[in-house]
Amino acid sequence: MVVLDATIVNIALPSAQRELGISDAERQWVITAYTLAFGGLLLLGGRIADLVGRKTTFMVGLVGFAVASGLGGAASGPGLLFGARALQGAFGALLAPSALSLLTTTFTEGKERGKAFGIYGAIAGGGAAIGLIVGGLLTEYLDWRWCLYVNVPIAALAFLGAVVFLHDRPERGGARLDIPGVLLGCGGLVAIVYGCGEARPRGWGDALVVGLLCGGVALLAVFAVWQTRARHPLLPLHIVRDRNRGGAFLTMALATIALFGMFLFLTYYFQVVLGYSPVKAGMAFLPMTVAIIVGSTQISARLLHHLPPRLLMVPGALLAASGLYLLTFLTARSAYVSHVLPAELLVGLGMGLIFMPVMATATSGVAARDAGVTSATVNTAQQVGGSIGTALLNTIATSTGAAYIADRLAAAARAGQLTPAVHAALVKDGVVHGFTVAIGVSATVMLLAAFVAGLLVTARAPRHGPAPGPDAGPTTDTTR
């Protein structure tokens, strides 16, 4: 529910824009308001889960997310919709780390842990694609508002499940919330995510974008220094200093940069270039979603307790990079079955091999009192990576596409061949050219993810016995 909400409104956005009278300049806030609150508040949400209790935080997050979704679905104007999306993101920042940390402290046996993380990895990797599918179905057959209303019954079912099945206790231990750390860490993340969002309409050289990014990095630098001195740090630095955990965080961020950029371009490619309906565009992502689920639950989950994590991550990143490379050969006349489908299957299987071992490695050997903030850091890597990837790759696509179109139109005009039909064809070719250049960058980023995983993640295969239990102390030896 949390992951798919980052994309479910993408396909519904044109309908919402028309009905509520949202301007072109403001429409990005339907997406940005959610990602800004979600990415900026994850660390705070993770630490609250550790202090208050993961089950309690999870249930509060569900109720808040459902209420915010209902408000957004009933919005009568842009302001209420933007506010509801921000509220969704804030409660999502409670939900995501609570869910992953509950998984970490509940499943400690090797085989069961692998199965649980396989399912979670499939959901985390496929959630964005599922959002596009569900968004297309709801928009075409019901109304765009159901892209938000659909969260209410899901949250209600999850809440009942939490009451019956979840058991947890807070790990207070006399700790307090690090308020200066909250302001510095969350402020830095908000600035970076906001800067990346504004880079899409403004460009990377815009003064506001540069200021936000530089300010965000500066705040995070001060945050890191403060965490070495704080009595109760928001993010204990031993969590990110660990080689395997740090490698997992970085691999997650890089893989998500490449993946979210691909989602954006294929969505436009299906609807604008190939002329697919919202439902057909959403269903075109289904094979990749299935491949992610298969890779996570049937391959990664079965092999993780036999193989070192990097022997799954590296081949997974290479498979995904191969699929992205195939997409660089797209044209405005490409056939779905011969060009897009093989690439989707490769990317899906590759991401299924990446997400599950990344999450299992990142949360391995963490003390229960730090499980929430560690889970939040995994989600932050995913969210910030997605924001950077969408903004960076979109800028590359639009700039290279515009240059291609301008050159070809000028050449056609000089040759006296610039008819309306030629103009339309050249514009479409230019759009696709921009997509393929940006996807080529995505493939390079995915290769970098393979390199990082192979270099930094040196953990051995988990033992068949139980993993470190919920009362384990902090450790930097995740080779166990």
Single-letter amino acid code for the residue at 408: R
Quote the CA–CA distance of 455 and 448 in Å, as a whole number: 10
Quote the CA–CA distance of 253 and 256 in Å, as a whole number: 5
Tell me how crowded residue 419 is: count the other CB atoms within 10 A of its CB. Answer: 10
Supply the pLDDT for residue 169: 63
Supply the pLDDT for residue 159: 94
Cα–Cα distances in angstroms (integers) from residue 252 to residues 45, 94, 449, in the given order: 19, 20, 8
Supply the pLDDT for residue 398: 81
Quote the CA–CA distance of 209 and 196 in Å, as a whole number: 7
**Helices 286-294 and 341-362: angle between axes, nearest 10 degrees:** 40
Supply the pLDDT for residue 480: 33
Supply the pLDDT for residue 19: 86
Q: Token digits for 290?
A: 């299935």
Q: Token digits for 322?
A: 């191969």
Q: Is the Cβ–Cβ distance between 387 and 193 less than 8 Å?
A: yes
The β-bridge partners of 349 are: none
Q: How far apart are the first and last CA of the chain?
A: 32
Supply the pLDDT for residue 467: 43
DSSP structural state of residue 36: H
Supply the pLDDT for residue 478: 38
Supply the pLDDT for residue 138: 81
Supply the pLDDT for residue 60: 93
Instruction: Compute the CA torsion angle 378, 380, 382, 388 (nearest 10 deg).
Output: -150
Q: Token digits for 121?
A: 């990895």
SS3 call for 466: strand
Supply the pLDDT for residue 152: 93
Single-letter amino acid code for the residue at 28: Q
pLDDT in tens, the chain (480 residues): 887 776 777 777 777 888 888 876 576 678 778 877 887 788 788 888 878 888 888 999 999 999 999 999 898 888 899 899 989 989 988 888 888 788 877 777 767 777 777 777 777 666 766 777 777 788 777 888 888 898 999 999 999 999 988 877 655 555 577 788 888 888 887 888 778 777 767 777 888 889 998 998 999 899 888 888 877 777 777 777 788 888 988 998 899 888 877 877 887 788 778 888 777 877 888 888 888 888 888 888 788 778 888 899 999 999 999 999 999 998 888 778 888 999 999 999 998 899 888 888 887 777 767 777 777 787 778 777 877 777 778 778 888 888 888 888 888 888 887 788 877 888 888 888 888 999 999 999 999 999 999 998 888 876 544 444 444 333 334 333
Q: Is the Cβ–Cβ distance between 220 and 214 less than 8 Å?
A: no
Tell me how crowded residue 84 is: count the other CB atoms within 10 A of its CB. Answer: 23
457: Cα within 13 Å, side-chain hemisphere: 30
Q: Is the Cβ–Cβ distance between 36 and 89 less than 8 Å?
A: yes
Which among 355, 285, 283 has a CA at the least distance from the CA of 319? 355
